[in-house]
Amino acid sequence: MAAAAVPAPNGMPTDCSAALHANRRIIRSPALSKQPEVPDLMSLVDLLKTSPDELFSKHLWQIIAFAGTGKLLDGGDTSAEFREVLSNIPVEALSQWGQEAARGKFDGSGFALQDIVNEVGRRLGFTVRPGTYRGGGGEPYDGLWQARAGHCVVVETKTSDNFTIDLKKLAEYRRQVLTSKRLGEQDSSILLVLGRQDTGDYEDRIKGSRYAFIMRFITVDALLRLLDLKQAATDECASASLSAKIFELFTSPKFIGLDPVVDLVAVAPRLATPTDRHEERPGRDDDQKTAADRKAAEALFDKVRTAGASGVSRRNLQRGFGRMGGKRFGELLDLLTKNLRLRTKKMGRSTFVMLGEGALKDELLLDLAKLFEEGNPKVGIDVRASATKKGFAADLADKVAAELRAEGSVELAGHFPGILRFTDFGYQKYLPRIRALREMAKDAL
């Protein structure tokens, strides 16, 4: 017999655990009803095994109220039972509950989202250690995800922007992890999982801080879509390859906001790959078209990159690629915008395309690496001049340069403070990133 629904003010619950627990006694199997000496309370795990449809018909707040004492508390029965259920439900149910928790419209929704996000991390292939609901103690974070290579990701979840994110405090959590696990600076990072979709202010805060190299964020929606993609990869080789890409996505410093990358991965199956094209339209023309698209993408990015401070209008940019058609040009520009952090800006009636501010550090790293590899120790680059030539503000260049100097990655080349060069330490530290940046344009498609 199904449990009676418990009404809540304005359709939303406040604290309904007492009322729901009063009704738990009617959820039992016929066998238990004939044996009064056996407790007649059915746990969520039992309900999942015997009547999954009954369980999935409930709202998330009702499910939590049924578990244990009805409230998510550190070390409590409700938390243990809820996490056990999360580890056994299908992906579709996990996504549904995750979206409900992200809306944050019931008491304890943030705690529920924390557990759901950690379960998603486990299914993506990380080794997950749950943190505490209210911080404090030796595990003040919401979750600690460890990749197979040993990299640790400190996870913080937020249902909305009503909660202030203290970046300095998150960095301290990471510092505790580095100390306790004896990790190097490059072996740990921070991931913010946000319930809201409008993430521009979070990205601006991180970009404008000294933590931009170690922090990244993703929305709950994108995280769940990433899990759907992994679930759909039934082929063993494809699944292993995707897992490796997921680890790289969450541990690499290439990006701050991860949603555009997930969007790119999600749309990729709909864009014909060389194999798909060969199956649909056999012949060498398809291979030639694939190579042409790749070459066009590289040429498009190079044209924007060399345009400097003024950028290049979208109309003029498209003129050189007219043969491919407006739709295909739009697809290439969209991919490059998301994957290489270009940006568009409306000026009068025209739209201009230029490098985004998030690309400044990458541009400086590439310039520094080129000089370092040429082997002239007396030569450096003028970071302000390099930045302004490419359309970036000089004070932003000073800030990035100061961060690089503070970590020992660059040093003065001569007596002028703005002329810098890589140290051996800095070059080795950023070499994986530099290599990735050099391959970005080739991998954009």
Q: 1-46 pLDDT, tens per residue?
A: 444 444 443 444 444 444 444 444 333 333 433 433 333 456 788 8
102 vs 392, which has greater pLDDT? 102
* Model confidence band, residue 120 (pLDDT cutoffs 50, 70, 90): very high
Fold of 102-268: Restriction Endonuclease (3.40.91)
Q: What is the pLDDT of residue 155?
A: 94
**pLDDT score, position 116:** 96
- For the domain made up of 358-443, the CATH class stated in words is mainly alpha
Q: At the topology level of CATH, where does 271-355 sit?
A: Arc Repressor Mutant, subunit A (1.10.10)
- With b for 16 or more beta-carbon neighbours within 10 A and e for fewer, the 119-157 pattern comes to bbbbbbbbebebbbbeeeeebbbbbbbbbeeebbbbbbb
Alpha carbon dihedral 246, 251, 253, 255, in 10-degree steps, equals 40
Res 317 pLDDT > 50: yes
Q: Taking the complete model, does pTM exceed 0.85, yes or no?
A: no
Phi/psi of residue 104, each to 5°?
A: 60, 40
Higher pLDDT, 408 or 115: 115
Regarding predicted confidence, which is higher, 66 or 116?
Answer: 116
Mean pLDDT of the chain: 75
Residue 49 has pLDDT above 70, yes or no: yes
- Given this model, what pLDDT does residue 154 score? 92
- What end-to-end distance do the CA atoms of the chain give, in Å? 54
Q: Which residues contact 27 (CB under 8 A, 6 or more apart)?
A: 1, 2, 3, 41, 42, 47, 66
Interval 47-65 mean pLDDT: 87
b vs e for 220-234, b when ≥16 Cβ sit within 10 Å of the residue's Cβ? bbbbbbbbebbeeee
Alpha helix stretches (DSSP H) within 233-359: 236-251, 259-267, 274-280, 284-305, 314-319, 326-340
Q: How many CA atoms lie within 13 A of 42 on its CB side?
A: 26
Q: What angle do CA 207, 209, 213 make, to 5 degrees?
A: 65
Question: How is residue 405 written in tokens?
Answer: 């100097």
| Residue range(s) in the chain whose domain bears CATH number 1.10.10.10 | 358-443
The model's pLDDT over 253-311, given as tens digits with 9 standing for 90+, comes to 777 888 877 876 665 443 333 333 334 434 444 444 556 666 776 677 677 766 665 67
What the block records as the tokens of 316 is: 């003029």
The secondary structure of residue 333, as a DSSP letter, is: H
Q: What is the dihedral of CA 201, 203, 207, 210, to 10 degrees?
A: 90
Of 410, 328, 402, 393, give the one whose Cα is nearest residue 355: 393
- Write the pLDDT tens digit of every residue in 357-390: 556 778 888 888 888 888 776 678 888 888 877 7
Percent of the chain past pLDDT 90, that is, above it, reads 13
The overall longest dimension of the chain from CA atoms, in Å, is: 90
Q: Where in the chain is the domain with CATH 3.40.91.50?
A: 102-268
CA distances (Å), origin 143, targets 94, 139, 192: 17, 8, 11
Q: E strands, 136-275, where? A: 143-146, 152-158, 188-194, 215-219
